[in-house]
Amino acid sequence: MVSELFLTFVRRLIFAFLLIGMVASLQAHGQISGTVGIYTRQTSVFTAQATTASSAFFPDFGFACNALSYQTTAFTGTITLEWVPPGSSTAIVLKRASYFTSADTGNHVLQLGEYFPNLRSTVTPSGGSLNAQYTAISTGCPIASSGLGSNGDASPIVCDHNNVVAVSPGTVGEISGPINIGDTFVICGFMISFASAPSTGTVALGASSSSACSTYSIPWEMYTSAGTPVVVPILIQQTLIPSADYACFANNSGVSVFVSYSYASVHGL
């Protein structure tokens, strides 16, 4: 009788350990499934869209990493990633890219982390058109990109080139331009060094459509006088638009200057 009770106890103990092991295995499998992409999806959102429109809701399979890829053609306006909460008809804008300073032609991405059911996009063109596609994966991704700017998501620019240009008084000198066709030229910062005390005048950074710098717009300008320091650091990043991506420097200070700058030639900005 005692031996039978003991065997029953041992069998129940073994069963309990097996049950604990099965539960732990299921929990581990569920945790792994939650961090590894086990489902992906891609769908077209807009094709040559030139008028204001909202897309249908994107496919919903519990995606935690969402991306809206879009290609602009002479586009001005806005495009959004927006969420309509269940039971509501009001769209909440989660990500927006705006293009108004100049018409944009390029490839861009709006990325969104976390799970949002009833996700869609709205485009509001005031010129040009765009195509857009939605892609998603069930794994996680950052809730926000590493950088956010006026035109939407943007990674911080790493300026990995440096240069020095001498510009004589009363002249306009080309600083530099994009390394590869289609790149955007970005100056992270520059320093002006005057040969001596300047006279009353100006110095300006120009953006031109050609390296000749015969015509240019002025995104940055500074007055000079006899009291202007001979070394002036400028820590403002300058991003030239694709249609005027040659940087020029106009020297009307009355003396020669050195312009030292750091820059990058970036694709897809």
CB atoms within 10 A of CB 244: 19
Check residue 4 and give its pLDDT. 62
Among the four given CATH numbers 2.60.120.1330, 3.10.20.30, 3.40.50.720, 3.40.50.1100, the one describing domain 161-266:
2.60.120.1330
CA distance 172 to 206: 9
* Beta-sheet strands, E only, within the chain: 40-49, 53-54, 65-83, 92-113, 119-120, 122-137, 148-149, 152-153, 161-167, 171-176, 184-194, 201-208, 217-224, 231-234, 238-239, 246-252, 257-266
CATH tag for 40-153 (out of 2.60.120.380, 2.60.40.10, 3.90.1170.30, 3.30.2270.10): 2.60.120.380
Angle ∠(49,54,60) on CA atoms, nearest 5:
115
Structure tokens at 81: 């990633």
Asked if domains 40-153 and 161-266 share a fold, the reply is yes
Q: What is the pLDDT of residue 17?
A: 54
Contacts of residues 152-156 at CB distance under 8 Å and 24 or more positions apart, as own/partner, are 152/79, 152/95, 152/96, 152/97, 152/98, 152/108, 152/110, 153/95, 153/97, 153/108, 153/109, 153/110, 153/111, 154/269
1 Cβ contact partners less than 8 Å away, ≥ 6 residues apart = none
Residues 134, 137, 138, 143: is their CA dihedral positive or negative? negative
Phi then psi dihedrals of residue 157, to 5 deg: -80, 130
Share of the chain above pLDDT 90, in %: 49
Rounded to 5 degrees, φ, ψ at 158 are -105, 105
Query: Structural domain boundaries of the chain?
Result: 40-153, 161-266
Tokens representing 175 are: 């600083």
pLDDT at 15: 59
> How do strand 257-266 and strand 161-167 relate by DSSP bridges?
antiparallel
Of 230, 164, 174, nearest in space to 199 by CA = 230
Tell me what pLDDT residue 33 has: 46
What's this model's pTM, rounded to 2 decimal places?
0.62
pLDDT in tens, 55-85: 999 998 888 899 999 999 999 999 999 999 9
The angle subtended at Cα 165 by Cα 169 and Cα 155, nearest 5°, is: 125
Instruction: Name the token pair of 161.
Output: 């080139």
Residue type, position 77, single letter: G
Task: Using DSSP, state whether 33 is helix, strand or coil.
Answer: helix
Beta bridge partners of 221: 204
Residue stretches of the chain with pLDDT short of 70:
1-38, 143-145, 268-269
